A and B are shown apart, each in its own frame.
Chain A
Amino acid sequence: MSRGRAEAPERVLRGPVLWTGLTLLTLFALGPFVWVFLASLKTRADLYATPLRYLPAQLTVANYVDAWTSRLTPFSRFFANSLWVSSVTMVVTTSVSILAGYALSRFRFAGRNALLLIFLATQMFPAVLLIAPLLSQWYALGLIDTYQALIYSNLSFTVPFTVWMLVGYFDAIPRDLEESALIDGCGRFGALCRIVLPLAAPGIAATAIFAFVTSWSELLFAITFTTQTEMRTLSAGLLFMVGQYEIQWGQLSAGVMISTVPVAVLFTYLQRHLIRGLSAGALKG
């Protein structure tokens, strides 16, 4: 594309303004993380120095070791809990929404549009609204301090979004392939497993990661439905650490990094699919 003679204001916009803007944007987004990352590597003396020391005089991993092995706030245990709760939530969410997404995409039945609308609306449901009734529900069922309570509760926000996204992915797969499989004597379910799932694999992977990451970040359910330290997830553990005693910023920063890195890595992978799903979902309305 030949740009020709760009006018003066445009040259300024493309040059200095663009680069200043990009620098500011990167600083804005990354700055706070850099600060916390540095804090996690600082000794106590560096953390609480006056005047403030920006770079650690002495690098240490003690904060990570302390957070990971601490008996009061054992991040190794929190990490395992988060991993288990998020993984099971991911598997259940994906199975449930594959079936639902496939049905909504392929079958025509009464109330289909109403159902789609309900899935869209429930995506906006706040956890706050469900806290009090879910707490008394899990209490009545004896599920306080169990992984089940957290996993079931997480389904309330993962499932609506993943169903919505999967309907979109399934819609994009041509029906002809399945029809021929059906004629060849494959059942509906067989056609779903053998034809549709392999084709929709990237989309399904994206929704699965989405379910994992949002469960990993969940806070309110995790602090409400667990009371014992051994049952806390990372998010709940971080908050618990703050409430416990005078805040140990070094250990806390290490804990923050431990909780952040896995989701940051997964989301980087997910980015492309998620953005597509988001903008498509929003525009379908």
Chain B
Amino acid sequence: MARALTGYLYLVPVAVCLGGTIVFPILKAMHMSLYHHVLFKPQEYGFIGLGNYSALLRDATFWLTLWNSFVWVFGSVSLQFLGGFAAALLLHQSFRGRAFVRTVTLLPWIVPGVVVALVWEWLYQPNYGVINDVLLRLGVLRDRVAWLSDPGLAMGAVIATNVWRGVPFFAIMLLAGLQAIPDELYEAARVDGAPVTRRFWHITLPLLRPIVIVATATRIIWTFNYADLIFVMTGGGPANATQITSTYTLLMAYANLDFGYAATLSVVLLVVMLVFTVLYLRVTRGIESVT
């Protein structure tokens, strides 16, 4: 009994930290979402029940942001996965300078998000950016393109940036998975005369499945919530072409100063995230019982 009490005592600091910075703010967001609370209209402040939620359902921009979030998540994660898988297969080989290449591969993932955003803004810059210059020299483009201010191109451009940032994550996760596959399996298959493609399909892919699922699920949740890149690069523009639900939440708080509505969006994000997390835990539990 006394031992159990000491155990709880060690947890008091962590409870204070997370209580004050996560639990209480979330309860507060739920509370705020029931109020009309626009900073520059203090005279209109008041309880409106589910008013913000019904406004949300009628808000065409909100539905657009959900669709944009889907495009953003699907585009980013699928390409990050493909790039990361290719990188992991390369890094799994033994060659001179492997440690160097591996560290370099990690760089895009470890630098601050705002740095990634600004670096790519500079690469995309219409007049002095290197991307237009290279594409013009190669003859792919005839005229300079304003990547981030063309509504048809902006989403593709921010996704490309996010792919660059996310490839290392998949690369190291899948590399860890590849290194966990016993060499004997490959040797046995080689002795049996299985060509490299067969070994890939029948050994590598099936054994990587668990880590692929875990990494992809983590990445989906994380990308859905990730606002920094888009926020810095386009602010959700042009004309909401890159507005995803999480940047829309920021816009409501920063630009519109509508805290009731921003809190409502936060609650919606929370619900979406919890659904994802429950699904994720279901799936990973399944994996654990198989392996």
| A193 in contact (CB, < 8 A) | no
- CB pair A25–B105 under 8 Å, yes or no, is yes
- CB pair A109–B4 under 8 Å, yes or no, is yes
Q: Given A132-B29, A279-B176, answer yes or no on A22-B90 (Cβ-Cβ < 8 Å).
A: yes
Select from chain B the residue with minimum beta-carbon distance to A115: B11
Q: Which residues of A contact B259 (CB under 8 A)?
A: 132, 135-136
| B242 in contact (CB, < 8 A) | no
Q: Which residues of B contact A117 (CB under 8 A)?
A: 281
Q: Which residues of B contact A29 (CB under 8 A)?
A: 104-108, 167-168
Q: Beta-carbon contacts of B21-45 to A below 8 Å, as 1s and 0s?
A: 1101110110010000000000000
A170–B209 alpha-carbon span in the complex (Å): 29
- CB pair A9–B112 under 8 Å, yes or no, is no
Q: Which residues of B contact A271 (CB under 8 A)?
A: 102-103, 106
Q: Which residues of B contact A32 (CB under 8 A)?
A: 108, 119-120, 123, 164
Candidates A1, A131, A268; contact of B250 at CB < 8 Å: A131
- CB pair B95–A128 under 8 Å, yes or no, is no
Of the candidates B87, B114, B231, B266, the one having the most CB atoms from chain A within 10 angstroms of its own CB is: B114
A117–B121 alpha-carbon span in the complex (Å): 39
A282–B32 alpha-carbon span in the complex (Å): 34
Q: Which residues of A contact B93 (CB under 8 A)?
A: 14, 18
User: How far apart are A112's CB and chain B's nearest CB, in angstroms?
Assistant: 8
User: How far apart are B218's CB and chain A's nearest CB, in angstroms?
Assistant: 6
User: How far apart are A228's CB and chain B's nearest CB, in angstroms?
Assistant: 17
Q: Given A36-B122, A159-B14, A267-B106, answer yes or no on A131-B253 (Cβ-Cβ < 8 Å).
A: yes
A211–B281 alpha-carbon span in the complex (Å): 25
Candidates A7, A47, A252, A285; contact of B281 at CB < 8 Å: A285
Q: Which residues of A contact B113 (CB under 8 A)?
A: 217, 219, 235
Q: Given A32-B120, A242-B118, answer yes or no on A282-B25 (Cβ-Cβ < 8 Å).
A: no
Chain B residues in the interface with A (C-beta under 8 A): 3-4, 6-8, 10-11, 13-14, 17-18, 20-22, 24-26, 28-29, 32, 86-87, 90, 93, 95, 101-108, 110-115, 118-123, 125, 127-128, 130, 133, 164, 167-168, 172-173, 176-177, 183, 187, 190, 195-197, 210-211, 214-215, 218, 221-222, 225-228, 231-232, 246-247, 249-250, 253-254, 259, 262-263, 266, 269-270, 273, 276-277, 280-281, 284-285, 287-288
Chain A residues in the interface with B (C-beta under 8 A): 1, 4, 7, 9-10, 13-14, 18, 21-22, 25-26, 28-30, 32-33, 35-36, 39, 47-48, 50-52, 54, 92, 95-97, 99-100, 102-104, 107-110, 115, 117, 121-122, 124-137, 152-153, 155-156, 159-160, 163, 188, 213, 216-217, 219-220, 224, 234-235, 238-239, 242, 249, 252-253, 256, 259-260, 263-264, 267-268, 271, 275, 278-279, 282-283, 285
A-B contact pairs, 30 of them (CB 8 A): A18-B90, A25-B90, A35-B130, A39-B122, A96-B17, A99-B14, A100-B11, A102-B10, A108-B7, A109-B4, A109-B8, A117-B281, A121-B277, A131-B250, A131-B253, A133-B266, A136-B28, A137-B25, A152-B20, A155-B21, A156-B21, A234-B112, A239-B232, A242-B232, A253-B122, A264-B107, A267-B106, A268-B103, A275-B176, A285-B287
Given known contacts A117-B281, A137-B24, what 11 new A-B pairs fall within 8 Å (CB)?
A: A7-B196, A10-B195, A13-B196, A14-B93, A29-B167, A32-B123, A33-B107, A133-B266, A135-B253, A253-B122, A278-B173
